[in-house]
Amino acid sequence: MPKHHVLITGATGLIGKPLTEALLSKGYQVSHLSRSPGKNPQVKTFLWDVARGQIDEQCIDGVHTIIHLAGAGIADKRWTHERKELLVNSRTQSIRLIYKILNSRPNEVKNVISASATGYYSNRGDELLTEQSKPMHDFLGSCCIAWEKAVDEGQALNLNITKFRTGVVLSTKGGALPPISLPIKFGLGAAIGNGGQYIPWIHWQDAVDLYLQAVEGQLPPDVYNMVAPVPVTNKQLTQAIARQLRKPLWAPNVPAFLLRTLLGEMSLVVLGSTRVSAEKVQDAGFKFKFENISEALSNIYG
């Protein structure tokens, strides 16, 4: 007898791919919501177009848990007015489109487990941030506030809601690590700005495991920071990658003013400091496989 049915949005991303494989290996039935047909014969893919408000309503049939990972890449393109609208709408209107059919069609959905981001706290210097810390109201913070509010609308449908405020997911398959490590591989690595800004990181395997524990009911529905217990600064991360790759660091830091000129408001993504606590999820019983950056990088590159 297969375990219950999980529907994933944003399933082709950095977490979605390994999470799909992990769920399948544990005997779950997995479906995807995507803009294009899927390639995995073990997974049924339903089509949707969030911008047009179109969705295959059969996507929820038999589903017990929805994992919401959909959202345009926050640092993929410069933040124009149109790009900002897309970043917010791809996260908020997508889950609302699902709630619309949950409200109008008989279903068995009990749980929604959604990504959020540590951008909720944005640039906070050395302050240690817990789930009770207030959000910032710059673009990063406002985007996450709107995202979480949209997800929380599922409470009116008597759904159990879990939100993961996700940090920088480290993987060679995508995300921030490849562009950070590329200049280091060529001996041109350098810290960014003053290098003292905190980066809330997590190994991709721990991120996947947190979703699995939420699916399996081992984490109570709540909001959790999805970050490793030992935060590092940009300089510490750069040095750790260089040590792992056995490359020297000799170049001067990349000036903050240059990044602000090149990236505009989006420079906040790399210059902002967000020091985030993992205590709550640890108190809930989660055991990290990779607590410090050196063992995480050793596993990733090993």
For 61-87, what is the mean pLDDT? 95
- Inform me whether the pLDDT recorded for 132 exceeds 80: yes
For 136-140, what is the mean pLDDT? 95
- Inform me whether the pLDDT recorded for 140 exceeds 80: yes
pLDDT at position 292 is: 97
- Inform me whether the pLDDT recorded for 17 exceeds 80: yes
For 78-104, what is the mean pLDDT? 96
- Inform me whether the pLDDT recorded for 191 exceeds 70: yes
pLDDT at position 126 is: 96
Query: What is the average pLDDT value for the chain, to the nearest integer?
Result: 95
pLDDT at position 252 is: 86
CA distance 99 to 95: 6
Q: List the beta bridge partners of residue 123.
A: none
> pLDDT class for 2, splitting at 50, 70, 90?
low
Q: List the beta bridge partners of residue 46.
A: 33
**Residue 290 maps to which CATH number?**
3.40.50.720
The parent domain of residue 258 ranges over 3-301
Looking at per-residue pLDDT, the higher value among 195 and 257 belongs to: 195
Give me the DSSP letters along 110-143.
-EEEEEEEGGGT-S-TT-EE-TTSPPP-SHHHHH
Residue 104 identity (one-letter amino acid): S
Closest CA to 19 of 113, 139, 92, 100: 113
pLDDT at position 118 is: 98
Q: How many domains does the chain have?
A: 1
CA distance 104 to 49: 19
For 219-235, what is the mean pLDDT? 97
pLDDT at position 1 is: 45
Percent of the chain with pLDDT over 70: 99
pLDDT at position 259 is: 83
- Inform me whether the pLDDT recorded for 141 exceeds 60: yes
Q: Give the 3-state secondary structure of residue 98.
A: helix
What Å distances lie between residue 147 and 94, 120, 157, 241, CA to CA? Answer: 10, 10, 17, 32
